[in-house]
Amino acid sequence: MQVVYCNHQTTDLSLRERLSFSIGEQLTSAYRELLSIFPSTECVFLSTCNRVELYTAQKTLDDPPTHQRLAQFLSDFHHVPLSEFSDGLLECTGSDAVRHLFQVASSIDSMVLGEPQIVNQVKEAYQLAQQNNACGPLTHAMFQGAINVSKRVRTETRLAERRVSIASVAVDEFGKSIFDRFDNKTVLIIGGGAMAEETLRHLQHAGVGQIMVTSRSPERVDKLVTAIPGAIVKLYQELDRSMAAADVIVSTTGADRPIVDFERFYNVRRQTDRKPVIILDLGAPRDFEPAVVNVDDNVFLYDLDDLQATCEKNRKARSKEVEQALYIIDEETDRFMQDVYHRATGPTIVRLREQWHRISREEMDQLRGKLQHLEDNDFESVQRSIERIVNKLLHPPLEALRDESRKGTPHGLLDALKRLFLLRD
């Protein structure tokens, strides 16, 4: 098991944008190309606003997807020179990879500690990998385990109490630093999906006056308006007019390039009295070009990287809960790895037992023909004695195998047993 990744702590936002995978044809193409290179590998892409991660696993050690080859795949697929991101591309293997996924799903590794959105993103990534026939026994176990661990962390710790999402931090920390009140403000939501809905709910809780919603997807808009009564639908073709009317713009489109550049927003501002406007760009890649902030002094633009310092404060405030959550994650990681190692040794143990007991049965059949004078009870006693001898002879190698499997898959010992006893795969 392996994870190669860059996240909010290792790579700047612009580079993460260039390495991210959009849901749809691009992600399907990525799975198709990666599996053509590594046909015996299981894999899952986890691409969010804060991270780009690739999980791989395979039963055998034949032609594994090394860190260098996966980095080259990312470079070739996205047409990004390897030199631009290789230093920030991290790697975990074995139990470290499992622990990392468990931490991600439990929101220990998130910008906003305890945010509920990440586990849904993990679930979605897992489902998309299944749809692309990229999962197998190991990745199924890993991601199902991660989802279960996140439930246990939420249940047994207070990490999720008063939890705040990226959207709520953006509104509370940045929005309220500009505006004293929201009840007389107009908010424009650009985009759809879980992030947009969460932002809408938080703004309603803050008492916002008017909410406008627009998106290139009418279905998403309809879903949001149904979930949040009172929101007004605006045509996406009239985006400039909607932006001019807004005091707060929250953008979460997931487009593959910025939808608003300096010139476009400059023209938008010409339609207004240049009142203060807050832009919360929660898209990955960015929805607004960074230069937009320079249109005039009353434009306040914040993107995902701007949230990091505030989120770190939340992390420190919840240090005790983090410690308890990490204890749970370590415990579940150890349990998961022992189960994986046990499964890896299981087939060899079964074959060894079957082989020795088959030999003992064959010998007993021959012996029965030679000792026909024995009573059935006497012969059964001989048979039980031979079975006990076989079990005692098997005990030392099998115990050694179990002991070694607690530390990791004992490839050397497994290979030795297969060679010594002529066991075939």
The count of domains in the chain is 3
Quick one: how far is CA 367 from the chain centroid? 60
Q: Is 92 a catalytic residue?
A: no
Is residue 145 domain-resident?
yes
- Would you say 203 and 211 are in contact if contact means Cβ atoms under 8 Å apart? yes
Per DSSP, the three-state class of 99 is: helix
Short-list 410, 389, 388, CA closest to 399: 410
Q: Are residues 267 and 353 in the same domain?
A: no
In terms of DSSP H, where are the helices of 20-59?
A: 25-37
Q: Are residues 170 and 127 in the same domain?
A: no
Among residues 148, 163, 178, the one where a domain terminates is 163
Backbone torsions φ then ψ of 8, nearest 5 degrees:
-65, -20
Residues 6+ apart with CB under 8 A from 332: 102, 145, 148, 149, 152
Q: Are residues 16 and 96 in the same domain?
A: yes
Q: Are residues 86 and 57 in the same domain?
A: yes
From 6, 43, 49, 92, active-site residue:
49
Domain range for residue 77? Answer: 2-163
Q: Are residues 53 and 94 in the same domain?
A: yes
- Residue 163: the pLDDT is 53
Is residue 333 domain-resident?
no
- pTM across the whole model: 0.59
Is residue 177 domain-resident?
yes
Q: Are residues 309 and 346 in the same domain?
A: no
Among residues 140, 163, 186, the one where a domain terminates is 163
Q: Are residues 62 and 195 in the same domain?
A: no
Short-list 18, 281, 254, CA closest to 124: 254
- Residue 18: the pLDDT is 83
**Lateral strand order in the sheet of 51-57:** 42-47, 51-57, 2-7, 90-93
Gap between the Cα atoms of 99 and 124, Å rounded: 19
Stretch (H or E) spanning 188: strand 186-191
Q: Are residues 177 and 303 in the same domain?
A: yes
Is residue 321 domain-resident?
no
Q: Are residues 56 and 202 in the same domain?
A: no
- Residue 422: the pLDDT is 66
CATH assignment of the domain containing 72: 3.30.460.30
Gap between the Cα atoms of 167 and 196, Å rounded: 8
Report the 10 Å Cβ neighbour count for 308: 14
Is residue 221 domain-resident?
yes
Among residues 134, 163, 192, the one where a domain terminates is 163
Is residue 322 domain-resident?
no
Quick one: how far is CA 149 from the chain centroid? 13
Stretch (H or E) spanning 3: strand 2-7
Is residue 323 domain-resident?
no
- Residue 177: the pLDDT is 82
Running along the chain, 425 residues long, what does each successive block of 10 average in pLDDT? Answer: 70 74 88 92 88 85 81 91 85 88 87 76 93 90 92 85 65 81 88 73 80 84 75 90 93 86 94 90 87 94 80 73 89 83 65 76 79 77 82 76 62 67 65
Stretch (H or E) spanning 233: strand 232-233
What is the rounded radius of gyration, in angstroms, for the C-alpha atoms of the chain? Answer: 29
- Residue 301: the pLDDT is 93
- Would you say 109 and 103 are in contact if contact means Cβ atoms under 8 Å apart? yes
CATH assignment of the domain containing 225: 3.40.50.720
- Residue 286: the pLDDT is 87
- Residue 162: the pLDDT is 52
Is residue 51 domain-resident?
yes
Q: Are residues 157 and 176 in the same domain?
A: no
By 3-state DSSP, what share of the chain in percent is helix, strand and coil, each rounded to 5? 60, 10, 30
Q: Are residues 172 and 159 in the same domain?
A: no
Outline where DSSP puts E strands in 48-167.
51-57, 90-93
